[in-house]
A = this chain, B = another copy of it.
Amino acid sequence: MAAAAGLRVVELAGGVGGAKLAHGLQAQLGDRLSVVVNTGDDLERHGLLVCPDHDTVLYTLAGIDNREWGWGIAGETFAASEMLARYGEETWFRLGDRDLATHIVRTRRWRDGERMTTIALDLQAALGVAARILPMTDAPVRTRVRTDEGWLDFQTYFVGRHQEPEVSEVRFDGIGSATATPEVVAAFEAADAIIVAPSNPFVSVAPILAVPGIREAVDAARGRGVPVAAVSGIVGGRAIKGPADRMIASLAGEPPTAVAVARRYAGWVDLFVLDATDAELEGEVRALGFETLVTDTMMVGDAVRARLAGDVLEALAARRR
């Protein structure tokens, strides 16, 4: 573990799966971990700027995440939300009282013209987070999905419509005007390894790579011999969380397996991490040109998170030797 623990690592992350792996990685790496987080699912609610993926990672790395619910803050209450409902506000996107404070501070500073990255780093410092959580860009990017109900904002689809409509197309509004931040570019430049979280390939990982400058930064790192690992978010033919399995079917037209995830990452990921449940798929994944690591990827507790992170880091360190 000594070599692995010394690595400087960049993780590409969406929400819950990204947060859990980040938590395990932070336990191994501390401040040598940078998490580049999707901002395509950001939204405005009640005039406040909400960054669900960032905040899931933030609360998880700060150790204040609500393990019981799988979202939000431990001990969270909803007094403000109930009052917002009395005022006739739509509250299908539930914001807890403590969570609201995050959005209030962020929104004030953002309206004052500060960069999203600066604000995020200050929020993290205030909560004592060791790792750096970097928004993929400071520019507003909004993921939208085409369904039989028309184009929907991502959170309208994800939370409001419970991911029920079938998705036939994904786009990232604003991506053309976005750029990788200096902090993101510097993180890739300093990286010894890159890890793609078990997040949704279409709506968590794809928007990060679509930010002009990020794919180039990944390629430049690989050109220097920096290995890239990806952990499958599909286990046993199902998404651990969210609609990735249905999206593989509707967007890629293939069965929702770890192989289908690997196919999305062919050409820029070196090491693909499969759950032991899917060990029989290892040959198929190798045939796509990946090295493989088969291990238990279900991050059900702190020890498992840290162990999985350690396994992946170990494999990456071994690859560098």
Contacts and interface: CB of A to CB of B under 8 A. Distances in A.
A303 interface: no
A287 interface: no
Nearest to A125: B88
Nearest to A108: B47
A83 B102 CA distance: 8
Interface residues of A, number: 32
B77 A47 contact: no
Contacts of A97: 77, 79-80, 83, 97, 100
Nearest to A73: B83
A56 interface: no
Contacts of A102: 83, 87
Interface in A53-97: 76-77, 79-84, 86-89, 96-97
A171 interface: no
A88 to B, nearest CB: 6
A86 B46 CA distance: 22
Given A89-B105, A105-B89, A111 B47 contact: yes
A101 interface: yes
Interface in A122-145: 122-123, 126-127
Nearest to A81: B101
Contacts of A82: 98
A100 B108 CA distance: 14
Interface of A: 46-48, 76-77, 79-84, 86-89, 96-102, 104-105, 107-108, 111-112, 122-123, 126-127
27 contacts: A46-B104, A46-B105, A46-B108, A47-B104, A47-B108, A48-B104, A77-B97, A79-B79, A79-B98, A80-B80, A80-B98, A80-B100, A80-B101, A80-B104, A83-B99, A86-B101, A86-B126, A87-B105, A87-B122, A87-B123, A88-B122, A89-B101, A97-B97, A97-B100, A100-B100, A100-B104, A104-B104
